[in-house]
Amino acid sequence: MSLEYINTDKAPKATGHYSQAVKAGRTVYISGQIPLDPVTGIRVTGGITTQTQRVLDNIKAIAEAAGGSMDKIVKTTVYLRSIENAKYVNAVYESNFTGNMPARSTIGVLDLPRASDVEIEAVMYLD
């Protein structure tokens, strides 16, 4: 199986020692995305809905750079600094996926990078 490392300037550059995504065969593992503007690298201002939309826009850009789309995402993990925000995340999340929803875990955490309220990682399958 060959590996391909995915990087696009349409999503924020990695802030640490990792790739935006790694394609292993037909499976793409998208690293956790926080609400960073891809141009400035600065966390977007605004509440949980604004942050969630930015995160999903970043995931979409990486998915497309890997040859896929949001419809090809099969699993996500959502990390929230406040699990009470899940209802707001759900509203934004639902508007970004069509048809069948990916499998998902939602986990409450104490802290996220750059004082973000949400981080989402994804797995995509290309057929």
**Which CATH number does the domain housing residue 14 bear?**
3.30.1330.40
Q: What residues contact 83, with CB distance under 8 A and at least 6 apart?
A: 106, 108
14 phi, psi to nearest 5 deg: -60, 135
Strands 21-24 and 3-6, how do they pair? antiparallel
Query: How do residues 3-21 score in pLDDT, each as one tens digit?
Result: 999 999 999 999 889 999 9
Query: How do residues 35-70 score in pLDDT, each as one tens digit?
Result: 999 999 999 999 999 999 999 999 999 999 999 999
Task: Please tell me the distance from the alpha carbon of residue 58 to that of residue 120, in angstroms, as a whole number.
Answer: 10
**Within a 13 Å sphere around the CA of 89, how many CA atoms are in the beta-carbon half?**
25
Mean confidence (pLDDT) of the chain: 96
Q: Which domain holds residue 43?
A: 3-125
Domain count, the chain: 1
18 phi, psi to nearest 5 deg: -160, 165
* pTM for this prediction: 0.97
Q: What is the 8-class DSSP label of residue 9?
A: T
Cα dihedral 11, 19, 106, 40 sign: negative
Task: Please tell me the distance from the alpha carbon of residue 84 to that of residue 123, in angstroms, as a whole number.
Answer: 25
115 phi, psi to nearest 5 deg: 55, 30
